[in-house]
A and B are shown apart, each in its own frame.
Chain A
Amino acid sequence: MSASVLFDVPGPRARTRNALLTVASVILVGAVLYGLYSGFDAKGQWRAQIWQPFLEWETWEFYIFPGLLGTLRAAAVASVLALVFGAVFGLARLSDHRWIRIPAGVVVEVFRAIPLLLLIFFIFYLAPALGGPGDYTFMAVVVGLMLYNGSVLAEVVRAGVLSVPKGQSEAAYAVGMRKNQVMRLVLLPQAVTAMMPAIVSQLVVLLKDTALGYIIAYVDLLNTGFKILPARFFGSLIPAAIVIGIIYVALNMALSFLATWLERRSRRSRKTSAAPIAPPGAPAVGAGAGTGPVGGGVAAGHGME
């Protein structure tokens, strides 16, 4: 373990104490795990027949993969739209014209403050009134995700552009570039590198939030796990929940690792003069002052919303 701000390098007495603590915590963790195992066992949740369906290809082909596709489709469409929304409103907030800057600021602040589920409900009920009868579940999820995450990304874009040192734009103006050229050729290319980790972290949040579609009965992975599979294979709600839980965690962790990797790369990068900006909602770690992650694990945090 690397040097830690909390603990000295242990001496003989501390080593004995740590060994005792280790034994005690092994027993504690073991007891918790056994408690879970026997709790499941008492309710017959380890019976082979309720786990059996997940070993068969048909279950995956006809139920889980279509559900996963629903989740990924919503996430992909919403990501693209949110990125566009974020870029437009983020840059609008940086505009020199007050009549662009202020309305953009209001839109971003309001959509960031609205609980996402309420937004999705509202769109879901508003859409038939505007567009006639039809299935609006997909649209409600995607538009809700776009408005919310787009607003968060707008803040990321703004922070990214502002994180480029002032000398860069001053130099660009000095060589005679126009406002639009400074933004397009100098600020944005550097800002994008700095923003990448925060953007990917926000996309993890977006992917997680597609699960809200479950509440308005959009057929996604969560719906497959909690409604469709248990209805088809009686009694296998818990196995289904565990399987789809693992899929969600694996997907999001893969994206989180990508964010961590991007952050490390952009910290090293000499293509940008801007330091990588923190993901929204994460505490600002003093640049270079930190002691490295205490306790290890995935370093790039992402917000919970």
Chain B
Amino acid sequence: MEDLIRYAPDLALGFLENIKLSIVGAITSLILGTILVAMRVSPTPVLRVAGTFYVNVVRNTPLTLVLAFSALGLSDQLGLVFSSEPRTNSFWIVAMGLSAYTAAFVCEALRAGINTVPLGQAEAARAIGLTFTQSLRMIILPQAFRAVVAPLGSVMIAMIKNTTVAVAGGFAADSAANMKEAFDQVGASIPIFLGIVVAFMAVTLPIGWFTGRLARRLAVAR
């Protein structure tokens, strides 16, 4: 227990970095994922193919590879630099890799949401004379959005847990890295491990609970 108290400030600072990464990752991956899904369902074959290619490649690549490639390849070899300060730079490199990776899953969740809308809904909308934008805005997207809340919640929870892989992208200031450092000094300590686990659960469980509840409240009865 003393171990946990001794290292608590370090671990808390590390956990704060995980939270910062999660917030940046959530915003950028949602934006990128929306762009990707727009490409994947667009009537233009070229964009569809490009979107499908991106999603299938990224989804089947380990996150560790994405982050290591962002740091060692894109940053060190190809000279992609966000900041001259190494720590800030690696933060943004990891945030970029994490968003690029998560965006593929956001895209898949959104696309599956569109797939839950029965074709009859669109046909009925056309039959009563709604225009393309009207049927999209009033009939299809509201139903698709409701089906997507819970899966997006799981994607976000997975992303928060994935921020611990930041070490692979050279960012050694998050809670996983700080936990490793503490273990290097005092050996495996169960209180330290449980402390971090509880911190993560304190963030992920409410998100799961909230999105689950929201999804049930919004569910379309068919």
Contacts and interface: CB of A to CB of B under 8 A. Distances in A.
Interface in A98-147: 110, 113-118, 121-122, 125-126, 129
A251 B68 CA distance: 19
A189 interface: no
Chain B binding surface, main DSSP class: helix
B187 A7 contact: no
A263 interface: no
B140 to A, nearest CB: 6
Contact of A253 (B60, B126, B136, B150): B60
Interface in B73-124: 73, 76-79, 101-102, 105, 108-109, 111-119, 121-122
Interface string A229-248: 00000000110010011001
B6 interface: no
Given A21-B44, A215-B165, A285-B112, A291 B119 contact: yes
Contacts of A284: 116, 147, 150
A302 to B, nearest CB: 8
- A22, A121, A256: residue with the most chain B Cβ atoms closer than 10 Å: A121
A295 B111 contact: yes
A240 to B, nearest CB: 10
Q: How large is the interface on B (under 10, 10 to 19, 20 to 34, 35 or more residues)?
A: 35 or more
A283 B161 contact: no
Given A7-B43, A118-B196, A294 B111 contact: yes
A122 B108 contact: no
A283 B41 contact: no
Contacts of B43: 7, 10, 14, 18, 21
B61 A249 contact: yes
Contacts of B197: 110, 113-114, 118
Interface residues of A, number: 73
Contact of A244 (B59, B65, B136, B147): B65
Interface of A: 3-8, 10, 14, 18, 21-22, 25-26, 29, 39-40, 43, 45, 110, 113-118, 121-122, 125-126, 129, 204, 208-212, 214-215, 222, 225-226, 237-238, 241, 244-245, 248-249, 251-253, 256, 281-286, 289-298, 301-305
Closest 10 CB pairs of A and B: A211-B62, A283-B151, A252-B60, A125-B188, A126-B188, A115-B161, A211-B64, A295-B40, A125-B183, A115-B164
